[in-house]
Amino acid sequence: MPLPDTLLPRLAAIVGEHHVLTDPDVRAGYETDWTRRYHGSTPAVVRPASTQEVAAVVGLCRELGVAIVPQGGNTGLVGGGVPRNRELVLSLRRLDRVSDFDTGAGEVTVGAGVALATLQKTVRAQSWNFGVDLASRDSATIGGMVATNAGGIRVLRYGGMRHQLLGIEAVLSSGAIVRRLPGLLKDNSGYDLPQLLAGSEGTLAVITAARLKLVPQQPQRAVALLAVDDMTAALRAVSAVRRALSSLEAAEVFFLEGLELVCRRAGLPPPFSVSHPCYLLLECAGQADESASLANVLAGAQGIRDSAMATGRPGCDRLWAYRERHTEAISAEGIPHKLDVTLPLARLPEFEQRVRGAIAAADPAARPILFGHAGDGNLHVNILGLAPDDERPDDAVLRLVAELGGSISAEHGIGIAKMPWLHLTRSAADREAMRAIKSALDPSGILNPGVVIPSG
């Protein structure tokens, strides 16, 4: 549908003409997602500076029947944050205020456009920390992280984004503002709108701010990188540490295929003198040094072939690099198909053993690289060597996930990438409920149409 001629001047009247970006070179950074697999074009990127401006933009789009794709740091991996069909991109990055920091209670109000690293820096200065952390911390924004219910490396200890959420401010598709930022730990008055919007991927409202709870900073870190026999040995070690040490913050797994790639692309030396099939990275953090306790527990674990331990930032970061640099190393090799799946922990070893075979049977040219959050049962199955539209391996992986009782999306969301497979793990009744919620909150279908559930 052609855009109304009045759209751009009226947008400029709301946000100022410098914040309606139409230059193709400037728009380009908003039109392609981080993976480079998903892209489209937009007539303009609109950059409001306040919740009131967001409300006015959304109200105008509703009036003119113009669809919107809300966007934060554009670090999404499922194509849900870039235009697909000439939608307007609504960039929330200028909503970058951190306010009402209650240093006694450990709560803070954060604008949608604040980068995770900025929030971390702000709250650490007061001996607090934020429970969610992930590798794209410098670019990922809090609004996008709430909208996608981002997970990351510390879900095991603190939960994902929805677990940090005490309140929300959002603009409904009518342009009305819902503001629930009370700073109350308990509040049982009616439907839990913040939780409904968490993980809704911009399809139900535009999140403009969140009230977040903080966790005490744990300054003493101990990181162990273990070479282990296999996934079963890795999970046994995770379970032993979980039961013994409440300070366990992260339990991450990767395999030789990924380690070799990371070492080559990032120029890192191999962590051990010989190669091993599977690697487990554990981090404990507390008020006191936990390294001796961690080493003690691991000494009794079976299936550990080699280990390296670090305390202090440089040593911990050095070990973390083998895990955290997977995403960029894979991306440097090509444009992967990225699957982000979760399995019941007891089925994770079987999945890991079968998935490479299932991928090879679907396309012998496929090159799978697995890594992820072992403690959460969450594996990132990245597949290189595929044509963009060859989804046979994706299909094979997601059907195996469904067969083993898992979910087709652990933490990246559905976006457009996983939508064709939603029926594998969400029943017809479940999808009907989602459609009903969508049409109640966005009756004109202007908010991120075609994401999560089909539009219309």
Residues that bind ligand MLT (CB under 6 A): 135, 327, 340, 380
- Alpha carbon distances (Å) from 27 to 91, 214, 360: 11, 35, 38
| Closest distance of CB 321 from ligand MLT, Å | 12
Whether residue 424 contacts residue 402, with contact meaning beta carbons closer than 8 Å, is answered with yes
CB of 105 or CB of 135, closer to ligand MLT: 135
Distance from first CA to last CA of the chain, Å, rounded?
A: 15
CB of 48 or CB of 415, closer to ligand MLT: 415
Whether residue 160 contacts residue 149, with contact meaning beta carbons closer than 8 Å, is answered with yes
| Closest distance of CB 408 from ligand MLT, Å | 14
3-class DSSP string for 276-319: CCEEEEEEEEECCCCHHHHHHHHHCCCCEEEEEEEECHHHHHHH
CB of 78 or CB of 358, closer to ligand MLT: 78
> Given CA atoms 128, 130, 136, 140 in this order, what sign does their dihedral have?
negative
- Alpha carbon distances (Å) from 433 to 114, 207, 428: 32, 22, 9
| Closest distance of CB 376 from ligand MLT, Å | 10
CB of 135 or CB of 178, closer to ligand MLT: 135
CB of 90 or CB of 253, closer to ligand MLT: 253
| Closest distance of CB 234 from ligand MLT, Å | 16
Chain residue at closest Cβ approach to ligand MLT: 327
CB of 196 or CB of 384, closer to ligand MLT: 384
Distance CA 456, CA 435 (A): 9
- What are phi and psi for residue 38, nearest 5 degrees? -115, 125
3-state SS assignment for residue 274 = coil
Q: Which residue has the tokens 């990032």?
A: 266
Distance CA 348, CA 278 (A): 14
| Closest distance of CB 289 from ligand MLT, Å | 27
CB of 208 or CB of 327, closer to ligand MLT: 327
| Closest distance of CB 42 from ligand MLT, Å | 25
CB burial of 318-331 (b: ≥16 within 10 Å; e: otherwise) equals: bbbebbbbbbebbb
| Closest distance of CB 154 from ligand MLT, Å | 11
CB of 93 or CB of 380, closer to ligand MLT: 380
| Closest distance of CB 258 from ligand MLT, Å | 11
3-class DSSP string for 135-163: CCCCCCEHHHHHHCCCCCCCHHHHCCHHH
